[in-house]
Structure 1
Amino acid sequence: MKKNNKNQWSDRYRTSFSRFGLALLAGSLFLMFIITIITTIEQDKYFSSRYLHTWSSHVQKELLGAFFSYENRHFLAGEGLEKPNVSSMVFEFMTNLNVEDPRTLLRNELPGFAAFDGRIVVAGDGTDFTTMPVESAPPLEILLEKREATTNRLELLEDQKEKAVSGEPVVHIVHSHSRESYLPELEDGTNVAFHPDVNVTLVGERLGKKLEEKGIATKVDKTDIEKKLHESGKDFSDSYDISREVVQTAMSENDKLELFFDLHRDSQPRDVTTVTINDEKLARTMFVIGENHASYEQNLAMATALNNKLDEQYPGLSRGIITKGGTRSNGRYNQDLSEQSVLIEMGGKDNTLDEVYKTADIMAEVISEYYMERQAEPVGGEGDK
């Protein structure tokens, strides 16, 4: 009888051990499968949502602070540490809904609401969720239609192409939406602010010229992105894929490039994109940073430094800084190619080129200061490329 009991116990032990081994093997295979999916899928499509990043940051601050307080009571006196609300964290993670932000519900229900799905990091004067930059373009065939300009901008700006500095460029300027234009520069009755020649690339040329005058060699790329989209059968939403190739080519040809700018024109109305400073009308700026890559905080630091300089010297000129991420936004803007890369909205569709040029001159001032400060930093210090 005792022998039978011993055999039964032995059989149960072996069965339990086998089940445990199989469960461990299955769990390991499942974990490997998940890791494979995460590491092979495009980073800006699914697993790079800024909401997951924000949620995980929230967890680190609250949960880790609470755990530390159990071991070291010094943490109980820490400022800003609150008891974690685990149920709220789990609900937000599982549903991607934040009860404190109604937009998290509306973005899934209202078409086009994703245009306002960003995070305001620094709010300039009058900046809120209703005045955030808007990317709006007609179908590509309409965008490519021939339109007349009412000004002789191209003739007047031939002198902007003169180089003032020799040597390899250290600044690169691209225009992912190269035909974005300004309505006052187009013929009367035009309501589509796009033009093949009189467009935001002229602003890039102006900025490049002013940087060169300050001794900073600059490469201004004027690739007609919309034309390339048409030739390759791609949509307007693929613009950043084309400009990515442009930037990558420039980087491969010149390893001296340090600062990268993507200039755009906003679709917000004139009252949002214009300010009067010292009795002059100026086009306002806004910095846009994509969160769908690992080093976006370095890009954000660059934008913050430039924005601070604008605020100090020309209060009200900058509309601030926003970040965008998640699956409904490009969320990278090619800023993953360099930690020193930002996207800048230069005025809006109702601004004149003169107003935008004045702002470009000011941007050249602050970029020049920023660049010179970087050069003065110790080798191997913070801010290296």
Structure 2
Amino acid sequence: MKKNKPFSLFIRINGAVLSVIFIFILIAGMTTILSLKMSSDSVGEVLETSDLNKLYLYFFGSENKYYIQNSKDIKDIPLTKVGFQIATNIKISDIRTFFERELPGFAEFNTKIELAGQGTDLTTLPIESAPPMDVLLKERDIAQNELNENDSNENNNTPPPSQTTNGKQVVFIYHTHSWESYLPLLKGVTNPDEAVSSNNRVNVVGVGDYLVKDLAARGIGSDNSTINATQELHKRGLDYYSAYQFSRGVVQEAMAGNHDLKFMIDIHRDSLGRQKTTTTINGKSYARLVFIVGQNNSNYEKNTILAKNLHKALEKKYPGLSRGVVSKDKSEGNGVYNQDLSPRAILLEVGGVDNNMTELHNAIDAFADVFSEYYWHMKNAKAF
């Protein structure tokens, strides 16, 4: 028997070594074949979307049934499902996660629909174009006839507001992608990817100027940044993808110079066509709106509530105008959108590449109407 001990020990050591090798081969094979992904991001996502209180109670209950005796949902927590999601970053209930790393561009569908407006689904999500710097720097003629016609239709005979911010600017409007423009406002331009301009009369900066007037008519003081983001990025040797890095400094400077600011609105333009970005309400044509919230900002919950409240208010007075509230993480966009700087920050997409000036102004009129009611309600309720 003594002679067999070394042999038995040898067998055990070899068995352990072979087991370890087998496990490594198995893991490597699964990673290669199934493209499994184990990362802090996937673990974090599971934890963020799971009810941790239930998870804790589940583990306590495994030792003491008292904790879960009246909680059937806790008893039925599928730990194998949670473990599978952590290991693979795949959600059984969400088919998109099976394809996002295999199909180019499919990650765009990771956008979460927080609150859907009319016709909003995975096929009508806002699309962000990324034109190269040479396209952004190219000058384009404006459609003067479109502007002249709209100027003649403006009505400035508005009664004075019943309450005002007494000269204080409480809303800061800015434009991370200040170059975003609209095809009907550009002469001879038909390619949606070239719907860009540095002329503030025909890009989103002009939309911001119009919002300032609308808010002032309702007693709310605001400031609109007219900074040419294209020129500033080019001057610094930066590209399109550094736009939020640049606009962050713009917002921080505005906040440091004006402590009365309560709301931050970043105005953009969607790249989708007319069919998905236009609606008719009581015989008037409107450019539709959509709210975007960054999932990776520390004020995500508060900013989402703000966006949802504004969407619901729009839906009540102007049904169909808002396409809803969507959120994006860093896998498909900036993920923060400077919204960590304020609990009252929104990114507002105003129309798409095919909307004209009248439709844009109608949309801003409606937004200013609803936003001002919300602002005064919250102000009088001493919410800020």
What is the aligned partner in structure 2 of residue 275 from structure 1? 279
| Equivalence map 1:79-228=2 (5 Å) | 83-151=76-144, 167-191=167-191, 192-197=194-199, 198-228=202-232
What is the aligned partner in structure 2 of residue 232 from structure 1? 236
Q: CA deviation at 1:228?
A: 0.9
| Equivalence map 1:305-384=2 (5 Å) | 305-378=309-382, 383-384=383-384
What is the aligned partner in structure 1 of residue 294 from structure 2? 290
Pair 133,319 (structure 1): closer, same or farther in 2 beyond 3 Å:
same
What's the RMSD between the two structures over aligned residues?
2.6
Structure 2 unaligned spans of 5+: 1-38
Cα deviation, 1:283-311, whole Å, max 9, x if unaligned, reads 11100000112221010011011111001
Contact kept? 2:46, 2:86, Cα under 8 Å: no
SS at match of 2:269: strand
Cα deviation, 1:145-203, whole Å, max 9, x if unaligned, reads 1111112677776999xxx9762300000011101011111112431110111111111
Q: CA deviation at 1:377?
A: 2.1
Looking at structure 1, the residues matched to 74 and 121 of structure 2 have their Cα atoms a distance apart, in angstroms, of: 28
Cα deviation, 1:91-115, whole Å, max 9, x if unaligned, reads 2122211122222232212232233
Pair 82,313 (structure 1): closer, same or farther in 2 beyond 3 Å:
farther
Looking at structure 1, the residues matched to 144 and 53 of structure 2 have their Cα atoms a distance apart, in angstroms, of: 56
Contact kept? 2:111, 2:332, Cα under 8 Å: no
Contact kept? 1:168, 1:254, Cα under 8 Å: no
Pair 365,194 (structure 1): closer, same or farther in 2 beyond 3 Å:
same
Name whichever of 244-253 and 100-109 sits farther off: 100-109
Q: Determine which of 42, 56, 60 is the counterpart of 2:52.
A: 60
Looking at structure 1, the residues matched to 235 and 93 of structure 2 have their Cα atoms a distance apart, in angstroms, of: 45
Looking at structure 2, the residues matched to 102 and 209 of structure 1 have their Cα atoms a distance apart, in angstroms, of: 46
Structure 1 unaligned spans of 5+: 1-45
Pair 82,279 (structure 1): closer, same or farther in 2 beyond 3 Å:
farther
Looking at structure 2, the residues matched to 230 and 154 of structure 1 have their Cα atoms a distance apart, in angstroms, of: 29
SS at match of 2:323: strand
Q: Figure out how many residues of one structure are paired with residues of the other and give that number.
A: 330
Looking at structure 2, the residues matched to 298 and 51 of structure 1 have their Cα atoms a distance apart, in angstroms, of: 24
Contact kept? 1:55, 1:93, Cα under 8 Å: no
Looking at structure 2, the residues matched to 118 and 334 of structure 1 have their Cα atoms a distance apart, in angstroms, of: 18
Tell me the TM-score normalized by structure 2: 0.79
Fraction of identical pairs, as percent? 39
SS at match of 1:245: helix
SS at match of 2:280: strand
Pair 101,172 (structure 1): closer, same or farther in 2 beyond 3 Å:
same
Pair 229,82 (structure 1): closer, same or farther in 2 beyond 3 Å:
farther
Amino acid at match of 1:138: P
Amino acid at match of 1:172: F
Name whichever of 255-264 and 112-121 sits farther off: 112-121
Looking at structure 2, the residues matched to 131 and 50 of structure 1 have their Cα atoms a distance apart, in angstroms, of: 26
